[in-house]
Amino acid sequence: MPVLHERVSRGQYVGLVLGLGGVALAVSENLHLDGGHLAELGLLALALAGISAGTVYQKRFCRGMEPVSGNAVQLLAAAVATLLPALLAEGFDVTFTADYWPALMWAAIINSIVGVGLLYALLQRHGTSQVSSLFYLVPMVTAAFAAFLLHQRMGPLTLGGLVLATGGTLLANRIRS
């Protein structure tokens, strides 16, 4: 709000809080926290802060950016910025299997090109609170794919969290002040 001067209604705030609570509930069932995962949780928090800051920056300074070319430039910049740290941390030892290529194509095409392109297009048309609330649907889609493709079962906390996150997303996107 301070950067973009967007007005967020009380109902949208409630929807955002419900959505966040739903995601926390959905992932809590299979989350095992111990001291060995603090660094990973810190990196996750940093990534979330980064995507939040990037969304606000995108809305504030890149309103007229064409989504396809803007996405290409940003993906290239991200590849350059992460290549050396990735090589230093993990090397370049890749095992090319039949399962490798569909996963790579999904990540490259659906997540990176289509997903980020949709994010940019939505930011041009809607407020950041509405667009950001759509991130709460990611666990639901992931859980649905895991259930369908990997035959994973969803427990009651996961299902309840997914319902709550979906309701929060709907509330954040439907209520106008």
Residue 164 in contact with residue 14, Cβ under 8 Å?
no
Q: Is the pTM of this model over 0.75?
A: no
Judge whether 66 lies within some domain: yes
Is 1 among the domain residues?
no
Whether 2 maps to a domain, the answer reads no
Q: What pLDDT is attached to residue 177?
A: 44
* Residue 5 maps to a domain: no
Range of the domain at 38: 10-174
**Residue 122 placed within a domain:** yes
Burial 75-91 (b: 16+ CB within 10 A, else e): eeeeeeeeeeeeeeeee
Neighbours of 104 (CB within 10 A): 12
Residue 56 lies in a domain: yes
Give the helix/strand (H/E) hosting 40.
Answer: helix 38-61
CA separation for the pair 131, 170 (Å, rounded): 11
CA distances from 50 to 8, 43, 99, 155 (A): 21, 10, 30, 31
pLDDT, tens digit, for every residue of 134-165? 888 888 888 888 888 888 888 899 899 989 99
Overall number of domains in the chain? 1
